[in-house]
Chain A
Amino acid sequence: MFDLQWLLIAIPLASGALLLIWGKEADRFGHLIGTAASAASFLFGVVLFAALLGKDAEARSQSTSLFTWIDTGTFHVEMGFTFDQLSGLFVLLITGVGTLIHVYSIGYMEHDPRRRRFFAYLNIFVAAMVTLVLASDYLVLFLGWEGVGLASYLLIGFWQHKPSAAAAAKKAFVVNRVGDIGMALAIMLMFAQFGTSAIHAVNAAAPGAGDGVATALGLLLLLGACGKSAQVPLQSWLLDAMEGPTPVSALIHAATMVTAGVYLVVRSGGVFDSSEAARTAVMIVGLVTLLAGAWIGCAKDDIKKALAGSTMSQIGYMMLAAGLGPAGYPFAIFHLITHGFFKANMFLGAGSVMHGMNDDVDMRHYGALRKAMPITFATFALGYLAIIGFPGFSGFWSKDKIIETAFGENLWVGLGALLGAGVTAFYMTRLMMMTFFGDKRWKDDVHPHESPKVMTYPLIALGALSLLGGLLLVGDWIVEWLEPVVGEGEHHELAIPAIALTGIITLVAASGVALGYFTYGTKPIAAETPADSSVSVFTRAGRHELYGNQINDAVVVRPTTHLTRFLVWLDGKGIDGFVTGLADRLGETSQFLRKPQTGFVRSYALTMFGGVAILVLCLLAVTLA
């Protein structure tokens, strides 16, 4: 049965192709085909996962090869897929959350004339993402990696008539290219060092390859992961990517694609375990991004951008956990899954709010929406409680485990993660207060209303998952489940009992909530964004995304522009000038030499006569002298 795992990819891919090729007749039912394809992929994934559950732990890695992709000399690449404990979880997350978002999009995109195309892109995304996680060779993984990049580009720029959306799509694509260079170089290095790019073989060979190779490989993979997962320093594209339709932000830029970097690091555990330096780099990148994202999330008034900052921050948590080695891998994946649930839930909730508010994204124009949109409010609240780590909710378990492991690694890393938890609680409370509580600050022509059932049912499902996602940790199930793939982590003894640390984390989160409530819940909020000059320097920096774009501009864009201009000048004036100048001089000389050629015999005769006379004179001069 596992030989058929390629169907997980083929079904949505075929549906996507069909929707793109089929003409206008498919407009009426294209979205149903797309949703059905995603659901079929999900059901098949459930069947495979159930079959995996029934097997012994050693037999749970099921590989199959479709065909030999490349076979030249010593380089051999199979179009191979592996359904194991890790990729199985991912398949369920991608197709499950993906299907819910497909259903939601039916309602959200109802009035869009290009809805069929939207579903085609969504299906292509699902196919590419499943390829990415099933791949058993880094080159096949790269195929999915670029596929999700393409789908992301197409969907961010889906409303291409808006120049800002087109620019955001381009930006995401270009920034991702930087990360992809890291991926491409990593694959080349694998081939040069190990003669293979099969994931299993590379990770088995990495410990014996020497520290330098493992570190280089780890850092290159980390560069790729940074690009895809919007980690510092390649974070700048994610906030702009919010130009895409909201279901896209939920599926691609919150739940699945941006977590591909975390998947890559966990999948390449053999490489990162062999290099302390690369592992530490992952941890630092995660920690920095976690704080930077939270900072940005505190300052944005655009609900989607606030959520995007939060996504950055949560992926920072996952990266941090992945940087803690085998002890952190299961919790990185655990948080990835719970985050997939509650962040998709909140993004879809934000989409539902926008749907009722005439697509306004400014939270300062919201307020008191809990009565107008009770279902959206209730489900959003479930996601909110999950992300701040309210005891019992999914985010509570996953974040708690990450912070606990971080404290086991290093006190300061743990404190950074703890601070992040407090800030998370603060900005999410701010978002809740500005959107659902307080006074009405609606524009005159806005009449908020609850979204149709096709949109609220996915919200309810995701809200339930946000609440119950923590069940994966019952009896350490996910740790034991993933152990054959990621290895067994050593357990650090903490200075204080784990339950006390949990209490501290909850206390920090509670103080973040309290701060958010007293800042935004008790006082009226201005209906317009205060000017930059009237807010603190921290808010200003957060609003400008910590000046990431300006730094990119100054460090990369402008020097490159100047270099290009100089090279163009050098090429035009220098090289072209020399070549065309030479040709011009030759032409002028020829024109000058043409003049004596009159065509008259007598002038030629005179020239000849003159020449002979000069020769004779020379002869005479030589002889007489």
Chain B
Amino acid sequence: MNEYITLSLILFTIGAVGVLVRRNAIVVFMCIELMLNATNLAFVSFSRQHGNLDGQVAAFFVMVVAAAEVVVGLSIIVSIYRTRRSTSVDDASLLKS
């Protein structure tokens, strides 16, 4: 059981670090997916351990929300790329000035 939780922790940490240090929007996006799936793994692990379905239901919800988020997120990235010829998140800082 501990192994699943450890794996989930490792995946989440990789995802979090990736979001914070990478500039490429696609990679940042992938890291977010990684964090979501790490939590999914934790949900199903605890569900298994406690012997009820609450965690699994939550995991399904996360997957549905993630799928919707991907659609919106990717289309934003694509439209930014079209106008600015760049996928770097640091270039998208117009709100500051």
| Chain A interface (Cβ < 8 Å from any Cβ of B) | 597-602, 605-606, 609
Contact = CB atoms under 8 A, between A and B. Distances in A.
Interface string B53-97: 000000000000000000000000000000000000110111111
The 10 A-B pairs at the shortest CB distance, nearest first, are namely A599-B96, A599-B93, A601-B89, A600-B93, A606-B20, A600-B90, A605-B19, A599-B95, A605-B20, A602-B20
Contacts of B93: 598-601
Given A599-B95, A602-B21, A602-B90, 5 more contacts: A597-B96, A599-B93, A602-B89, A606-B20, A609-B16
Contacts of A602: 19-21, 23, 89-90
A124 B16 CA distance: 93
A598 B90 CA distance: 10
A599 B97 contact: yes
Contacts of A609: 16, 19-20
Contacts of B95: 599
A297 B89 CA distance: 97
Given A609-B16, A609-B20, A601 B96 contact: no
Nearest to B19: A605
A600 B96 CA distance: 8
Contacts of A601: 89-90, 92-93
A615 to B, nearest CB: 15
A599 B19 contact: no
A597 B93 CA distance: 10
Interface of B: 16, 19-21, 23, 89-90, 92-97
Given A606-B20, A609-B20, A599 B89 contact: no
13 contacts: A598-B96, A599-B93, A600-B89, A600-B96, A601-B90, A601-B92, A602-B19, A602-B20, A602-B21, A602-B23, A605-B20, A609-B16, A609-B19
B87 to A, nearest CB: 12
Contacts of A605: 19-20
A605 to B, nearest CB: 6
Contacts of A606: 20
Contacts, number: 28
Nearest to B32: A605
Contacts of A597: 96
B84 to A, nearest CB: 14
Nearest to A599: B96
A600 B19 CA distance: 13
A602 B16 CA distance: 11
A600 B23 CA distance: 10
B4 to A, nearest CB: 20
A276 to B, nearest CB: 86
A319 to B, nearest CB: 81
A599 B20 CA distance: 14
Contacts of B92: 601
Contacts of B16: 609
A461 B25 CA distance: 112
A609 B21 CA distance: 13
Nearest to B93: A599
A601 B90 CA distance: 7
Contacts of A600: 89-90, 93, 96
Contacts of B20: 602, 605-606, 609
Nearest to B90: A600
Nearest to A606: B20
A605 B92 CA distance: 14
A599 B97 CA distance: 8
A609 B19 CA distance: 10
Contacts of A598: 93, 96
A600 B94 CA distance: 9
Nearest to B16: A609
A600 B93 CA distance: 5
Contacts of B96: 597-600
B28 to A, nearest CB: 8
Nearest to B97: A599
B27 to A, nearest CB: 12
Nearest to B96: A599
A597 B90 CA distance: 13
A112 to B, nearest CB: 72
A600 B90 CA distance: 6
B35 to A, nearest CB: 10
Contacts of B19: 602, 605, 609
Nearest to B17: A609
Nearest to B89: A601
Contacts of B90: 600-602
B9 to A, nearest CB: 13
A597 B89 CA distance: 15
